[in-house]
Amino acid sequence: MSPSERRTAYVLKMYPRFSETFVVNELLAVEAAGERVDVFSLRAPVDGRFHEQLAAVRAPVTYVRSSGLRAADVWAALAAARAELPGLAGCLDELLSADVADAVQALEVAVEVRRRGIGHVHAHFASVATTVARLAARLADVPYSFTAHAKDIFHEDVDPEDLRRKLRDAAGVVTVSDYNVAHLRRAHGPATSRLQRVYNGLDLGAFRFADPVDRRPVVAAVGRLVEKKGFDTLLDAAALLAADGVPFRVELVGTGPCEGALREQVDRLGLGDVVRLRGALPQGRVREVVQSASVFAAPCVVGADGNRDGLPTVLLEAMALGTPCVTTPVTGIPEAVRHDVTGLLVPERDAARLAAALRRLLEDGALRSRLATGARALVEEEFDVRRQAVRLRALFAGEHEAVPA
């Protein structure tokens, strides 16, 4: 099949998802590079907020049944698959051992893969999306690949044997940082022979760099309000800055399960005049908040359950826009934020060190300018989504590139 005829299925747990801008960026980039893509979403979206660039994605989206399945639905899926999937009989044992919903979704995806002439299946996250993608690819007799991120490989609920099987059976595996590559190699050895690192990329044309030398004393922070983002430490640092009389304001954008606790912390620390919780904002407004700030704070931590960020896309966006970053050396973050070169690193959960780094950047315009310039140069060199799309298309074509040991 020629590259212009090649067609790839993306299997995603939920599409679109407001917090997964990297998926939309990737879809747009691989389509711009010439890939024909079909999206299969295993869950219907539950969030009414969508990014503006979503409208530019050309891929058709199929929502696969995931709930309310009756016995009749299972038998109907098997009957439909029998006529389309010559290899069905050889996969019956695995189908019967799978979760019923996963098995039915895999059957439905596999049938569509065959009907549409799709030659490759790719999933994001090594959890349920890859479970369905792997089984669907086996049923349809096509190769599959997946991208491993963070929670799907670090969380305490990850089944090592299941992940090892997915790594071993895949035609290629992508993960988003060198840190992840090293972790997966230590944990899963020979099963990682087809593993490669491909950073999540940005469409740099959408992120205009501006020198931060003369910006107002504002600290921006963006993300889901969950433990791994470390925003409670940011508020503790803000209290230290306020106690020292430092003029500043914090703009915290996002929603999530920790919102109530964070609002209570703002009240308890007397930060109502300097910290504003902005809720969710459209992507264009988020960029305005970030680019008008003197500092971007991402005090990421490893959660009690092992959950952590991989390499937050919003951190790369801040670097591209020219907003110097203060963050922590969690997982792949130091691959982008190199201390005193492209940003500042502080230990996780250390409010005093975080406050000191924020103060340095709030008060030193020349330092802000130097770090921002270095950060933009690194993003252009390593995180351009067009370069990542070339590597992904090669992976879909079977030209995997394992990371050197």
pLDDT tens profile 198-221: 999 999 999 999 999 999 999 999
| CATH T-level assignment (fold) for domain 204-382 | Rossmann fold (3.40.50)
pLDDT band at 254 (very low <50, low <70, confident <90, very high): very high
Which of 45-49, 142-146, 237-241, 324-328 has the least mean pLDDT? 45-49
Number of C-beta neighbours around residue 122 at 10 A: 28
Does the domain made of 7-201+384-396 have the CATH classification 3.30.43.10?
no
pLDDT tens profile 29-62: 999 999 999 999 999 998 766 667 888 999 999 9
Residues contacting 286, CB < 8 A, separation 6+: 222, 253, 314
Identify how many contiguous H helices and E strands the chain contains and give both numbers.
15, 13
| pLDDT, position 405 | 34
Number of C-beta neighbours around residue 378 at 10 A: 20
Residue 304 CB burial class (10 angstroms; 0-12, 13-18, ≥19): exposed
Q: How far apart are CA 240 and CA 272, in angstroms?
A: 14
Q: Is the dihedral of CA 254, 259, 264, 269 positive or negative?
A: negative
φ, ψ for residue 250, nearest 5 deg:
-110, 130
Q: How far apart are CA 254 and CA 216, in angstroms?
A: 22
Task: Provide CATH 3.40.50.2000 ranges for the chain.
Answer: 7-201+384-396, 204-382
Comparing C-alpha atoms, which of 179, 180, 106 is closest to residue 144? 106
